[in-house]
Each structure stands twice: as C-alpha cells, then as structure tokens.
Amino acid sequence: MESSSPEAPQVQNQEKSIEEATSVTAVETTDLEREEPEDGEVLEKLKGDRIGETMYSERFVLTTILKLPQLEGTLAEDEDYEKDLCSLWDMTIEQDVVLFLLKHDVIELFVGISEASEDNRLVEILLGIVGNMCCVEETHRLLYENKGLVVSLCGFLSSSDTLVLVQLMRILTTILERSDDEEYCWFKVVREVEDITEKIAFILASTTNRELIEHTLETVHAMVNRFTEAEVDYAQLNEFYKMFAKSCLIEGLMEGFKQMFPETAADNQFEEDFLSNKDLKTIQKFLEIHENFIINANEVYEDQVDKIVYCVYRVLVPMSSEGCLIPLSKAHVRILVCINSIYSAIVYHFHAETFLAMLKIYTILAKEQEGLQNSAQQPMDEENDETDGEFEIQTALGEILETLYFMAEPMNSSTIANTLKVSSFNEETIQRLCLALKETMAGDPLLGRTCDLLLESAREAWTVEDKSRS
C-alpha cells in the first residue's frame, strides 16, 4: 500500500514520551535479584510496574512500543520481537492495558507506521491491536475526534493482504456496532473515504477467503444498521443510499454468498446438508442487507431479481429439512421475515422451487406447532421453554404464509399445478394451507380469489395422481 509516513516530529515526541515513562516506571528484574529486598518491598516494586489491576508490565509494553519506529527489515527476521508484539496484542483484551496505551497516543503511532510499512504481518498485528482497543469506548472517542485516523485506516481497503483486511473489518464493525448512537455520527466520517462502496464490493467479489467474506459482510451489515437506523438523520438517508445502493455492492454480496456456501455440481444444492448457528447468523445478516436495500432502493435490483431469488432458494433448501429447522431459533425466524419482505418487494415473481421449499417448511412447523399445543402444559411457576418455542413458530408460520400468498396471488392455476405435480405433497396439504391463509390474511381483498386459485391448482395437479402421498 502506498501512503505517506507520519510526520517525524510527532513520532519523535511519542518516542520521547514513551522513553520518559519507561525510565520512571521501570523495575529491573536484575535489580530485584541484586538487592535481595524483603518480600514486601519486592511486591511493592512489582505493583509499581503493573498496569492497573492486571499483572502486565508497563516496562514490557513501553519497551515493545519504543522498538517499533526502530524496526529494520521485516518481522520474519526478528522472531523474538514478533512474539513480543503478539503478546501485546493478547494483552489488549484487558481494558486497563488499552487505557494505558491510549495515554501514550499509540494509535497515531500504529496507524502511521502501518501506512509506511510494506510488511503485511506487522500491519496485521498493529491493526489487530487497534481492533482490540476498539472494544473500549475511549478509543471510539479518540478516533472520532481524530477523524483522519479512521480515513487513514480505511486506506487499507486497497490492501491485497487477506489478514490485514480482516483486522480492518473488525475495527470498522466494532466502532459502528458499539459506539453510542447519539454521541457519534460515523457516517460523516465514512463518507469522506473515497470509493468506499466500490472497494468493499471488490473485496466481496474477489476474495475466496471465507473469514474475510464474513467479516466484510458484518461490516456492511453494521453500516446499513448504523446509518439507516441508529444514526437516524433523514436528511442523510438519500446520501447513504446514493453512496451504497449500487449494483457493484449487490453483485459483490451475491458473489461472496456463493463463496461461503458453494453448491455441488450434481444438484445445485449446498455442499453441506446442515446449517450451523454461525451459518444461520451469517445468512441472516446477508438477507437483512438485501431486505433494507430492496425496500428502500428497489431500483438497484432491476437486473438482480433472479440472483436474489436464487440466493433465497438456496437458503431455503437446507432449512427445509427438519433436522436443520427444529428447534427453531430467532435466526430462523429473522431469515423468514427477510424472505417475506423481499418477496413483498419483488411482486409478480414466482419461483417454483422456492414455493415448494416454503411449503415444506410450512408443513414441518405446522406439525411442530400442533405437537406443542397438544403437549401437557408446564406448571405456571416453572420456566416453560415450550411457550417461547410456540411463539417463535407462530411468528415464523405467519411470515411463511404471507410469502406463499405473495408468490401465488398473481399466478395462474396451471403454473402452480405444474409445480405441485413434481412435489411430495397432496391436496390435503393445500386445503390446510388455505385454511391457515384465511386466518393470517383475513381482510385482504384478494384472499378468496387466491385460495380458490390454490385449490383449483391442487385439483388440476392431482386429478390423475395418487392421492395417498404424504
């Protein structure tokens, strides 16, 4: 990465400050051994060297930092110093260590050295330390008051090193998700970063590293949430969508999704037949981004409808297995909410495989709900997890029914009949679906016509079919 190094006087002042602190607080181990003081005296000296309530040494931290501007060559050539920096990285999970570092203005030093360095391992470690420091609110304040530091950090979006980019995304996600909503307006900072959307889109579209895709997706998700909900400034919403609602970002998100969840050549399904909780949360964030954009910047999907529909279908395929769907989690429900919102926005679009997958999920959850309702009630004074589970299922069923309704409503009976013919359902399934729709969609002016359409499609599909199928 090409960038200018920090101004020499600033670095020199920081070095001088650290040198002075080192000379004042240092406790030499050799001095302790030579003087052989009483145990109480040793303890007091050690206390004088430790950082806050931790057992970490001020001297070690300051000495490690002081060596940074003097580093010659790469970290690979100085294994011991690399270990020291990694130890410092580990230490920054402690708030007292972070506050100690902030007192010595290390972030400016770290960013300046990172900008000037061609050693990706060094930059990764320094950005990793800054990322840990961002878990402390005082770091957010410093970065916000020195907005140029954030802009400089975003300069690493052009880096070709995966691990450097991962640490950068950690920094951005943390400050966006954890900063006080009223005190910080990060959009005013981010909009100063040149071509930020294009750079993020390029990362998503070009990398094959799953960890980087996940962290970049989290950053985009944090930006969407922060800039359209937390920092609610309606005068800036148009500016946000103008900056971020671009086809390159939508395409990058699609490509990143394909990399995270590759399909087999045989049947175009997920390679894995089970989605972990982490997978579900990743998919949830992916769909929440699209939900926001497709509702508020629909025009950017003019040429992307088929792609988002296909992504939805591929999410539903593994979810439509009982082993993946039950027990139903909040992530499952939120995914179904997003899918409903997406299909509400892309009206008059029917996808046969998605329709069948949603219908299968409906039958699984309806059966699960019936089982919960028939089970014995827990005593009122005991925790009843089934009550929460029933509420989640009821919410999910409502979203599924709406989605099926939106998909079927504009279609003709032949289209739906041809879809049902290749399924494992029977006419009774559609009859139960229509009864549920009449409860969920009560009051909709097209409800009667749509239910008649579904029943007609079922009769047409199974006029000569074996109705004993489950």
DSSP string, 74-131: -GGG-HHHHHHHHHHHHHTTSHHHHHHHHHTTHHHHHHHHHHH---HHHHHHHHHHHH
207 backbone φψ class: left, alpha, beta (φ>0; ψ -120 to 50):
beta
pTM of the predicted model, to two decimals?
A: 0.86
Q: How open is the CA angle 151-156-158, to the nearest 5 degrees?
A: 115
pLDDT recorded at residue 5: 37
Whether 431 is covered by a domain: the verdict is yes
Whether 415 is covered by a domain: the verdict is yes
pLDDT recorded at residue 448: 95
pLDDT recorded at residue 15: 53
Alpha-carbon separation of residue 422 from 128, 306, 342, 469 (angstroms): 53, 22, 26, 12
Give the residue carrying structure tokens 């981010």: 190
Whether 86 is covered by a domain: the verdict is no
Residues of the chain with pLDDT under 70: 1-48, 264-273, 376-388, 464-470
ω before 327 within 30° of 0 (cis)?
Answer: yes
Residue 236 in tokens: 């800036």
pLDDT recorded at residue 285: 98
Residue 224 in tokens: 């969407």
End-to-end CA distance of the chain: 61
CB 420 within 8 Å of CB 430: yes
CB 45 within 8 Å of CB 57: no
Whether 217 is covered by a domain: the verdict is no
pLDDT recorded at residue 45: 52
Residue 1 in tokens: 């990465």
Whether 417 is covered by a domain: the verdict is yes
Whether 356 is covered by a domain: the verdict is yes
Phi, psi of 68 (to 5 degrees): -55, -55
Rounded CA-CA distance 286/226 in Å is 16
pLDDT recorded at residue 274: 78
pLDDT recorded at residue 315: 92
Residue 216: name the closest of 273, 159, 138 by CA: 159
326 backbone φψ class: left, alpha, beta (φ>0; ψ -120 to 50):
beta
Burial class, 38, CB count within 10 angstroms (exposed 0-12 / middle 13-18 / buried 19+): exposed
For residue 18, give every residue at least 6 positions away whose Cβ sits within 8 Å of its Cβ, in sequence order, or none: 62, 65, 66, 104
Amino acid at 205: A
Whether 171 is covered by a domain: the verdict is no
Whether 341 is covered by a domain: the verdict is yes
pLDDT recorded at residue 245: 96
Residue 50 in tokens: 């430790």
Q: Residue 365's domain spans which residues?
A: 266-273+321-375+387-464
pLDDT recorded at residue 215: 98
Q: At what angle do helices 95-103 and 58-66 cross, to 10 degrees?
A: 50
Domain total of the chain: 1
pLDDT recorded at residue 270: 55
Q: How many CB atoms within 10 Å of residue 131?
A: 22
CB 25 within 8 Å of CB 61: no
CB 337 within 8 Å of CB 399: yes
